[in-house]
Structure formats: structure tokens, C-alpha cells
């Protein structure tokens, strides 16, 4: 849902980031307003997963330039846990298994951390069980998964459902879903996408990181961004995703080469 007067939730300006000494993001610009669903598409290695991790504050990624503001606040100044508490959520491409830590306890601690930040009361075990039972329906998840260790022995689909369950409990303002569709069969994809659609509202925004069009068949984006070589190359509506599906990513390479050629007319390769 696009409303030009909606609140600007996330503003990314000329973002540069490295992992180890490798520059990955090379000037990302993106604005996300309340009520919008954005999709970032691109090949493996284009930087789209890095973008999601930088926004969530992964310690292995170093921001070397640019700014990110969340509701006017400098997001890059905050620890990962604080970003989560104020409403930035990252749905992991590969949710981490944590043996020995009860999923239920984990969900409760996480939910309470967010509630405290919002000025709400912490939920005790009983109140939380009521809440989680209700939210389980969003992802049609078996309550038995609450009793297990976090993600341990979960199938790929179960892990992704657990991610969306966390999203349902934390009620983020900006949800970044990194390749949530990967590893899902078509039924699981429908359930996960159904959960995302259910949670999307006029008061929040969703950023989908995806490789394939098929997720966008079930979640309709307002904006599609094509990422390549660490920057957003082109932005369009949902038809851009269809175009990618039809034409593949080769034209992106051509466009990129043209840009980089214009920026650096003499690359060392050409000289050699």
C-alpha cells in the first residue's frame, strides 16, 4: 500500500559496508514508508543478504559509509538487541539451531524484551502461553515445537515458520525477511507467505529479500528493487519482478557493466 504521506520508517542513504576487508555494499539508497512492501531481488553475491544483516547489526559486517535512520533515529548506533526492541526484525535465511535453549523460553524472553521497550508489561509464563497459542495459528505450527530446543532438528520449513512466529510475537515495525522462501515446498511457502500477509498492516513495512519471483506470486510487493554489485540498480513495481523472471539477470550484468564502465573507463583488465 503506497501512501506518499505515510511515515518514513527506514531511510538508507549511500550505505557502504564490508565483511572482513571485502567491500560488499557500495552505496545503497532505499526509503521505506509505513504500509509498504518492498522486495529486493538479485543474484547470489549481489549484496542483498548483506544488506539485511547490516540493518540488523551483525557484528561481522562493518559499515564504512552512509547512514541508516529508523523513524529518524540513527540505527547504526544501536546494538543488535536494541534494534530488535525498537521494532526492526530480521527473519533469517538460515535460522540458527540453539541446542538446550527451550524455544518457548526463548520466545518469551524475546517477546518481553520488545514489550518492555514499548512500555508494556512483561508476560508471565501463563499469559505468554495464551499469546503464543493464539499466534501459532498464524503459521499453523504444531505447539510441540515450543517444547523443543530453538530450531534444533526442525526441518527447513519448520524453521521458517518459527521465524514468522517470532515476527508475529514481536510485532515489528520493519520486518526484513531474508530469503524466507528458500528451502520451502509450495505448501510451506503458502503458509509462510500467508503469515507475512496477515501481519502486514498500514502501520508497518516489510522488506523481502528474495531470489525468485515465486514468493512475489503470494506476497504482492509495492516496490521491487534489483540489486547488483552492492547497490540498487533499478527500482520498479511488481512488473519488474516479472521482467526478471522472463529475461533472467543477464541484462542486469549488461547494465552494470555500462555503469561501471562509465565510472572507471580504464580498468586494469583493459590495460592488460
Partner 1 sequence: MALASETNAPVVSPVAAWSERLLGQLPEPSGDLAAVQRRGRSALELLPLPRRHQEDWRFTDLSALTALTPSWSETSGEVPADLPAVAAGTLRLWLDGRGDPLAGVALPPGLAPLSSAELGQALGHTLAAVGCEHHWPVEFNHATAGRCLALRVSGRETIRLELVSAASGREAVLPLRLLLLVEEKAELELTQVLLGSGASLTSVVLEAHLGRKARLHHGLVALGEAPACLLAHLAVEQEPESRYQLTSASRGWALSRLEPRISQVSGAAHTQLEGLQLAQEHQVADTHTWMRFDGPDGTLDQLHKAIADGHGRSVFNGAVRVPRAAQRTNAAQLSRNLLLSNLARIDTKPELEIVADDVRCAHGATVSRLQLDELFYLQSRGIGADLAARLLKRGFCAEVLQALPAAASVWRPLDRLLQEGSPLLAPEQRP
Contact positions vs partner 1 (CB under 8 A): 56-60, 79-81, 83-85, 89-90, 92, 95-96, 98-101, 106, 109-110, 113-114, 117, 149, 166, 170
The smaller minimum CB distance to partner 1, of residues 101 and 218, is found at 101
Distance in Å from the first CA to the final CA of the chain: 51
The smaller minimum CB distance to partner 1, of residues 57 and 221, is found at 57
Q: Of 138, 143, 154, whose CA–CA distance to 94 is shortest?
A: 154
The smaller minimum CB distance to partner 1, of residues 79 and 185, is found at 79
Query: Nearest approach, Cβ of 56 to partner 1 (angstroms)?
Result: 5
Query: Nearest approach, Cβ of 232 to partner 1 (angstroms)?
Result: 23
Query: Nearest approach, Cβ of 62 to partner 1 (angstroms)?
Result: 14
* Exposure on the CB side of residue 129, measured as CA atoms within 13 A: 5
Distance CA 120, CA 154 (A): 31
The smaller minimum CB distance to partner 1, of residues 208 and 226, is found at 208
Query: Nearest approach, Cβ of 99 to partner 1 (angstroms)?
Result: 6
Query: Nearest approach, Cβ of 167 to partner 1 (angstroms)?
Result: 10
The smaller minimum CB distance to partner 1, of residues 85 and 231, is found at 85
DSSP string covering 196-238: HHHH--TT-EEEEEES-THHHHHS--SEEEEEETTEEEEEE-H
218 in Cβ contact with 187 (< 8 Å): no
206 in Cβ contact with 175 (< 8 Å): yes
Amino acid at each position: 500500500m503506497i501512501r506518499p504521506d505515510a511515515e518514513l520508517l527506514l531511510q538508507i542513504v549511500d550505505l557502504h559496508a564490508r565483511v572482513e576487508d571485502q567491500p560488499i555494499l557500495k552505496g545503497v539508497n532505499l526509503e521505506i514508508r509505513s504500509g509498504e512492501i518492498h522486495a529486493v531481488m538479485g543474484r547470489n553475491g549481489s549484496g542483498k543478504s548483506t544488506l539485511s544483516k547490516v540493518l540488523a547489526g551483525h557484528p561481522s559486517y562493518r559499515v564504512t559509509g552512509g547512514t541508516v535512520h529508523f523513524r529518524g533515529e540513527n540505527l547504526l548506533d544501536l546494538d543488535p538487541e536494541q534494534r530488535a526492541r525498537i521494532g526492526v526484525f530480521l527473519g533469517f535465511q538460515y535460522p540458527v539451531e540453539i541446542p538446550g535453549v527451550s524455544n518457548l523460553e526463548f520466545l518469551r524472553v524475546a517477546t518481553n524484551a520488545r514489550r518492555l521497550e514499548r512500555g508494556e508489561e512483561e508476560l508471565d509464563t501463563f499469559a505468554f502461553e495464551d499469546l503464543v497459542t493464539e499466534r501459532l495459528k498464524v503459521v499453523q505450527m504444531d505447539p510441540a515445537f515450543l517444547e523443543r530446543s530453538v530450531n534444533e532438528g526442525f526441518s527447513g520449513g519448520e524453521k521458517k515458520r518459527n521465524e514468522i512466529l517470532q515476527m508475529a510475537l514481536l510485532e515489528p515495525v520493519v520486518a526484513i525477511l531474508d530469503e524466507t522462501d528458500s528451502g520451502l515446498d509450495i505448501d510451506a511457502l503458502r503458509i509462510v507467505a500467508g503469515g507475512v500477509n496477515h501481519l502486514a498492516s498500514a502501520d508497518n513495512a516489510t522488506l523481502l529479500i528474495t531470489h525468485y519471483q515465486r514468493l512475489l506470486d503470494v506476497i504482492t510487493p509495492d516496490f521491487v528493487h534489483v540489486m547488483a554489485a552492492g547497490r540498487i540498480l533499478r527500482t520498479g513495481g511488481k512488473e519488474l519482478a516479472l521482467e526478471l523472471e522472463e529475461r533472467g539477470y543477464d541484462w542486469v550484468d549488461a547494465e552494470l557493466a555500462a555503469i561501471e564502465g562509465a565510472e572507471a573507463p580504464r580498468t586494469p583488465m583493459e590495460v592488460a
